[in-house]
Amino acid sequence: MTREEVENGKDYMLIDGEDNAVPDGFNADYLKAYYGKLFPCADMFKWLSYGNDGKHPGCDHSYSGRREFSFTLDNDIYLRFQSFNTASELESAIKEKCPFKIDIGPVYSVDPSKRHAYSQGGDNIFTPVERELVFDIDISDYDDVRYCCSGADVCLECWPLMTVAIKVIDTSLRDDFGFSHILWVYSGRRGVHCWVCDGKARRLNNEQRAAIADYFRVYKGNENSNKKVSLVGPALHPFLARSYTDVLQGYFEKRLLSSQNLFLNEERFEKILEMIPDESITSELRGKWLSNKRSKEDINVVRWEQLKHLLSSKKGQGHRRCIEEIVFSFTYPRLDMEVSKHMNHLLKAPFCVHPKTGRICIPIDPNKCDELDPSAVPTLSKLIGDLNAGGFIAEGDNEWDGTSFVQCVKYFKEHFLDPLHKSCKEEIETSYNAKVKQSRNSISW
């Protein structure tokens, strides 16, 4: 049996019964119910078509069929270079294969499923021509500055680091680069993904994508480096200064400082003292903190204020810069740079079910990202329970209105998809009219 012939093989799950309780976490048996009843396949296809699924003469009807989808099946069987010309084709394939994960790739110059036929001609015409500008941020990359969790584990004490990342990156993408159509998605376990979908973003080449990624690059250290960031110049870049004042400083002092107990003991405060190059300052602070004078106030706040006061009292730009570098080291977004730099990088699709947690990869409203609790994100089992409680049994139309899924889909449609689709239709109309005018001018000449 070939990989393309692999099928789940289980009958469509009946979700009725007297007991509505459903086991927590990921359950492969419920995937067909989820894909059949809840997964917003039509909206996903509409998003990725960017208006080219319409009847306007300016539409590129080959566009959708040149987009790569990748399915990961049970036992880590990968089906790369899948392509679909219509929403019904995509929906049928998802229901048939029941993938544990769906990844989205670029739009290629030719249909990716027929790439081998083109390669026989000798010309390398199979190449990515369009792809969203994407960002991938994982909480595990912050393990050196969080003490509540490690690895893929996450809790409400360290999740604000992801909130900081969303606020900083989203604001810059909109204000500094002029992008409008931005989709943030919870990865389902330990991080967030960002999809920048403006036409000018999708058409960036690899060099331009790398330049934007490098614009955000501040965190350059590793686990063996005392200094985690590189803030150059006599003053912070306006983007960094704005991020520090509007986001980083507040989250560091009001949330992370105490929630992570950054100055709780010698091991932890020594990590911070190592970032200060002035030995006289570090010696004085170390002496104070090792004296173990008790205080009714939060020891983390007291020690941070002592550090700031001593550094601020010294002359020279470098001492104030130390304060900024400490805050940046603990809070500034840490991007997976390679994901953003290359057009052909795959990224997990929104609304997938994470196979480790059972959580849905839901869209995140950047204006309300402070409210997101990853432990409260809808899970596959919760949604199946909602369907059971609602009495939905037979396969039919999507039924998310009766589930805890409804707000997720509503946000995706109303705040992201509808404005994007309107913009794409206007762009297609403008481009078509320009071509018609140019053609008429050529004929007149």
Sign of CA dihedral 427, 40, 413, 341: negative
Radius of gyration of the chain from its Cα atoms, rounded to whole angstroms = 25
C-alpha span between 210 and 214 (Å, rounded)? 6
The identity of residue 269, as a single letter, is F
Q: Are strands 67-73 and 182-186 parallel, antiparallel or unpaired?
A: unpaired
Is residue 68 part of the annotated active site? The answer reads yes
Cα–Cα distance, 222 to 144 (Å, whole number): 9
| Residue spans of beta strands (DSSP E) within 125-268 | 128-130, 133-138, 182-186, 191-196
Three-state DSSP class for residue 345:
coil
> Alpha carbon of 241 to those of 159, 164, 319, 366, 369: distances in Å?
23, 15, 16, 20, 22
DSSP character at residue 349: P
Give the chain's largest Cα–Cα span: 89
Edge to edge, the sheet with strand 182-186 lists 133-138, 191-196, 182-186, 363-364
Contact 252, 327 (CB under 8 A): yes
The residue annotated as part of the active site, out of 138, 170, 198, 399, is 138
For residues 111 and 289, give the distance between their C-alpha atoms in angstroms, rounded to a whole number.
Answer: 64
Helices (H) and strands (E) in the chain, counts: 18, 9
> What DSSP state is assigned to residue 379?
B
Catalytic residue among 68, 91, 325, 386: 68
Instruction: Please name the residues in contact with 32: beta carbons below 8 A apart, sequence gap of 6 or more.
Output: 8, 10, 12, 13, 95, 98
User: Which among 53, 111, 132, 136 is annotated as catalytic?
Assistant: 136
For 183, which DSSP code? E
| Residue 74 contacts residue 90 (beta carbons within 8 Å) | no
Helix (H, G, I), strand (E, B) or coil at 106: strand
Question: 435: which 2 tokens?
Answer: 């071509």
Q: Cα separation of 255 and 158, whole Å?
A: 9
Distance (Å, whole) CA 60 – CA 224: 51
Contact (Cβ atoms closer than 8 angstroms) between residue 33 and residue 12: yes
- Indicate if 138 belongs to the active site: yes
Cβ-contact 380, 30 below 8 angstroms: yes
For the annotated catalytic residues, the residue numbers are 68, 136, 138
